[in-house]
A and B are shown apart, each in its own frame.
Chain A
Amino acid sequence: MTAVRSDTAVRIDGISRFFGAGAARVQALDNVSLDVRSGEFLCLLGASGCGKSTLLGLIAGLDAPSAGTVDTTGRRAGMMFQDSALLPWLTAGGNIEVPLRLRGIRRGERRERVERLLAMVRLAGLADKRPHELSGGMRQRVSLARAFAQEADILCMDEPFGALDAMTRDLLHDELERIWRETGVTVIFVTHDVREAVRLGDRIVLLSSRPGRVAEIFDVDIERPRRIDSARVAELATTVTTRLREEVGRHGH
């Protein structure tokens, strides 16, 4: 495992987030504090509805906390969504180009970068395909390339592989790990799948539900490359699952 750099990429300090008002008011997050280290692969794990997406949106600057602060230490955060969320009126290349155009990069250089990003996700030559002409796994890879086109130092991923079949997902885990190592980007990866979290993360932040709080943080001391079906992954996954069940169980009564 590469040594984790000591400096902090994201400083989350006592954030809460409420939705709605009056009787319908829900508290999605309650006093969450967390430091994300630069270059680390952090997994946010929790049951559905525990506030993972909300937290990620706060980090990516898409939303503002009701209380507390999020400091991305001058770094740019990019976002990748569950169902690829490609713009259906653009080609694969066109989608990757949007963040480049938004930053005013010239056409010639854009084209070059799009090709390079497509090659990074092993889709070289498919720039002219439209999203509906691609498979689910390919769409997610285009989406990943688009997130990288934002030149983000922090990559926020919201259950990016949730809708894929197991085999494609395993391959994309390998791909994501390779790209993470090559680029040194800080990844904040949201999932509700314990094994996926153990397979990928340097650390796993377990969130409790309703309101979301940090229940526990696990260090994953398993050397890479890991396999999702290896014994050590399974072992830690069992421990984390037990803890997750406890958290969910507190809401049963």
Chain B
Amino acid sequence: MATESGTSTRLRGRSTGLDAETGLAVDAALAGLDALDIPTAQRRPLAARAWAATWPKIGALALFLLLWQIVVWSGWKPTYLLPGPGKALSEFGSRLGTGHFWDALARTLVRALEGYALAVVIGVVVGVVVSRSTILRTAVGSFITALQTMPSIVWFPLAILLFKLSESAILFVVVLGAAPSVANGVIYGVDYVPPLLVRVGRSMGARGFSLYRYVVAPAALPSVLAGLKQGWAFCWRSLMAGELLVIVPGHSSVGADLQNSRELIDTVGVMASMITIFVVGVLVDAAFNTADQRMRVRRGLIAEGTSAVRAARGGRGRGVTGSGVDPVGGSGDGTVPHQPADTGAGGADGGHAGGAG
């Protein structure tokens, strides 16, 4: 046998070298054991899953519209001040056909994306730098959180003094609103990287940047994603506050339209604008949720369409039919849905509560 040639050459020299009979027997035995032990995932058909995810939302929306209509019917306010959902929705629908609506929406979205992109870049850079240094972590860690809790609207007086009524004033506040959440997501993500995985990376020869690239960054991703989502929520809120306060002459926007309708005591117009803002919020939130869901499914943190916590509690698991009402985890016969093993990234997940509402 070679002595110093390294295992690779030895491996390369041979085929995998299974000797036939014992090989087959071991193969069969291992295959049997593997088959018994592999977590089974039961997947419902796509249509069923889509329906299960959609109908509660439709139901909630219908209920909300119904309550709104009931308040209108009650005659609490005159209908010119509080129109019913029918009127508001049809105004929203008819606006969809106007060029002005799309111009305003486009400007608003461009502002949002510009501000968000800048906030993400700043937040990630600050987050990475701070998470690398213990001193910086102590120095600015709580400062970032304090910044995050500051209502963005209080920045506007300063922004207007610094930048006058301009796009820059809006951008300034949007970035200040969103960047701290992104930075915090990165910092917490790095904090919660399982030490074992870092050891694994180092044992494979990853150092410095490659350790970040192959271990730290992907392990921190769940928390980073939560930070990005929260950052978006702050970005959108700050932008709407900004568009109400900072109306740049000649620049139409969703917020400017909203303010305009209020000045004209056009409640239907106000509501149509609010519906626009709501719909954008819902769509972006759905996009973030889809990304989050896919990441969790890929990592085996949840079975498709369920939360691991709910499954562990023994409630409705993965589309297995059952009563679904089982308040004391595990039914009488002690069956608990089989949980896929969490191979380590779980810790990275509980980092900080996401969602700014």
Residues of A within 8 A of B (CB): 2, 5, 7, 38-39, 57, 60, 62, 78-79, 81, 83-90, 98-99, 101-103, 116-117, 119-120, 122, 130-139, 146, 148, 150-153, 165, 167-168, 171, 174-175, 178, 182-185
Contact = CB atoms under 8 A, between A and B. Distances in A.
Contacts of A7: 3
Interface in B84-110: none
B218 A102 contact: no
A168 B33 contact: yes
Nearest to B344: A88
B37 to A, nearest CB: 3
Interface centre among B2, B33, B196 (most CB of A within 10 A): B33
Contacts of B215: 87
Contacts of B210: 102
B39 A132 contact: yes
A132 B26 contact: no
A132 B299 CA distance: 7
Contact of B37 (A84, A137, A182): A137
B326 interface: no
A253 B214 CA distance: 47
Contacts of A87: 197, 200, 214-215, 218-219
Contacts of B7: 148, 151-153, 183-185
Interface in B195-224: 196-197, 199-200, 202-206, 210, 214-215, 218-219, 221
Q: Which 7 A-B pairs have the closest CB atoms?
A: A132-B300, A135-B37, A79-B203, A88-B343, A132-B340, A151-B8, A119-B16
B357 interface: no
A38 B3 contact: yes
A39 B206 CA distance: 26
B322 interface: no
23 contacts: A7-B3, A38-B3, A39-B1, A78-B203, A78-B204, A84-B343, A98-B206, A101-B214, A103-B205, A117-B11, A120-B11, A130-B300, A131-B341, A133-B41, A148-B11, A150-B205, A165-B33, A171-B30, A175-B26, A178-B17, A182-B10, A182-B11, A184-B10
Contact of A182 (B6, B8, B14, B298): B14
Contact of B205 (A85, A102, A119, A120): A102
A186 B214 CA distance: 27
Interface size of B as a range: 35 or more
Given A84-B343, A85-B196, A89-B345, A137 B33 contact: yes
Contacts of B6: 151, 153
Given A130-B300, A150-B204, A151-B8, A89 B221 contact: yes
Given A62-B203, A119-B16, A184 B26 contact: no
A122 B38 contact: no
Nearest to A74: B4
A179 to B, nearest CB: 9
B299 A183 contact: no
Nearest to B214: A98
A171 B37 CA distance: 15
A40 to B, nearest CB: 13
Contacts of A90: 218
A223 to B, nearest CB: 17
B34 interface: yes
Contact of B341 (A78, A98, A119, A132): A132
Given A132-B340, A148-B7, 8 more contacts: A89-B219, A117-B11, A122-B27, A134-B38, A137-B37, A146-B204, A171-B26, A185-B7
B26 A133 contact: no
Given A60-B203, A85-B197, A171-B29, A135 B34 contact: yes
A81 B199 contact: yes
A218 B37 CA distance: 36
A131 B344 CA distance: 11
A116 B200 CA distance: 22
Contacts of A102: 204-206, 210, 214
Interface in B304-357: 340-345
Interface centre among B2, B202, B342 (most CB of A within 10 A): B202
Contacts of B221: 89
A81 B204 contact: no
A103 B210 CA distance: 11
Interface string B10-27: 111010111000000011
Given A88-B343, A148-B11, A182 B17 contact: yes
Contacts of B2: 184
A233 B350 CA distance: 47
Interface in B19-77: 26-27, 29-30, 33-34, 36-39, 41
B38 A135 contact: yes
Given A81-B199, A131-B343, A132-B340, A137 B204 contact: no
Contacts of A133: 38-39, 41, 300, 340
Nearest to A170: B29
Contacts of B206: 98, 102
Nearest to A57: B199
A214 B62 CA distance: 74
Contacts of B1: 2, 39, 184
B186 to A, nearest CB: 17
B343 A183 contact: no
A108 to B, nearest CB: 15
